[in-house]
């Protein structure tokens, strides 16, 4: 019986290796430069990137001169989220400020990578707003319905806090 197992073992291991590795013969076209990398929500003055992957959004922030990333967590059933979309994020002054200073990303907390991000960033109320550096470190987090003025103050505070952290790191030689 052990002789049979000793002969079958190499065959079974060979099949296991064969069954765990597949290579495609299909040619994958590289991304074209003329195709937009991101789609934006056009219902808002703030240029929110439509659902994507957070790491790609953070990479875009690096490419655009070390911008901070503003992440808005919402759900489809959240009434304060809808009111803010219709009254706050349509404000042109706010939109210009956010579009100049941040990469803006809108995350539905119940779809695609939303549940994972919700867990990672401990989001339990909607809307929740997070300003982060391009490494994904939280600079400022707030939640609940906000006015246009409060959103502007929040943005300015996030930039000031980021600059303070960066200056402190430079002093410490980091």
Which domains are present in the chain?
Answer: 48-171 (3.40.30.10)
Q: Is residue 49 a contact partner of residue 38, using CB atoms and an 8 Å limit?
A: yes
- List the beta bridge partners of residue 104: 48, 70
pTM above 0.85, yes or no: no
In the chain, the percentage of residues whose pLDDT exceeds 70 is 75
pLDDT tens, residue by residue, 139-165:
999 999 999 999 999 999 999 999 999
pLDDT band at 24 (very low <50, low <70, confident <90, very high): very low
Cα separation, 54 vs 73, whole angstroms: 12
Q: What is the mean pLDDT of the chain?
A: 82
> What is the per-residue pLDDT across 75-111, written as a single tens digit (0 to 9) for each?
999 999 999 999 999 999 999 999 999 999 999 999 9
For residues 98 and 9, the model is more confident at 98
Looking at the predicted structure, is the pLDDT value of residue 26 above 50? no
Whether the bond between 127 and the residue before it is cis, its omega within 30 degrees of 0, is: yes
- For residue 130, give the nearest of 119, 144, 141 by alpha carbon: 141
98 phi-psi bin (left φ>0, alpha ψ -120 to 50, beta other): alpha
pLDDT in the model for residue 95: 94
Structure-model confidence comparison of residues 34 and 43, the more confident one: 43
Residues 103-140 as b or e (16 or more Cβ within 10 Å = b): bbbbbbbeeebbeebbeebebeebbbbbbbbbebeebb
DSSP 126: S
Q: Which of 4-8, 26-30, 76-80 has the lowest mean pLDDT?
A: 26-30
Coil/strand/helix, residue 110: coil
DSSP string, 33-82: TTS-S--B-TTSSS-EEPS--HHHHHHHHHHTTS-EEEEEEE-TT-HHHH
For the CA atoms of 114, 104, 42, 148, the dihedral, rounded to the nearest 10 degrees, stands at: 110
> What is the reported pLDDT for 94?
96
């Amino acid at each position: 019986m052990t002789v049979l197992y000793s002969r079958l073992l190499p065959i079974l291991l060979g099949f296991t290796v064969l069954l765990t590795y597949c290579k495609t013969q299909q040619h994958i076209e590289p991304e074209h430069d003329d195709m937009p990398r991101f789609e934006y929500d056009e219902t808002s003055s703030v240029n929110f990137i439509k659902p994507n992957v957070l790491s790609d959004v953070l990479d875009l922030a690096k490419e655009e001169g070390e911008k901070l990333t503003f992440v808005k967590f919402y759900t489809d059933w959240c009434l304060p989220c809808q009111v803010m979309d219709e009254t706050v994020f349509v404000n042109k002054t706010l939109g210009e400020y956010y579009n100049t200073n941040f990469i803006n990303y809108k995350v539905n907390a119940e779809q695609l990578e939303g549940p994972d991000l919700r867990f990672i960033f401990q989001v339990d109320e909607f809307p929740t707003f997070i300003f982060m550096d391009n490494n994904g470190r939280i600079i400022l987090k707030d939640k609940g319905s906000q006015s246009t003025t409060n959103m502007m103050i929040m943005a300015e505070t996030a930039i000031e806090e980021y600059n303070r952290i960066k200056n402190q790191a430079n002093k410490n030689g980091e």
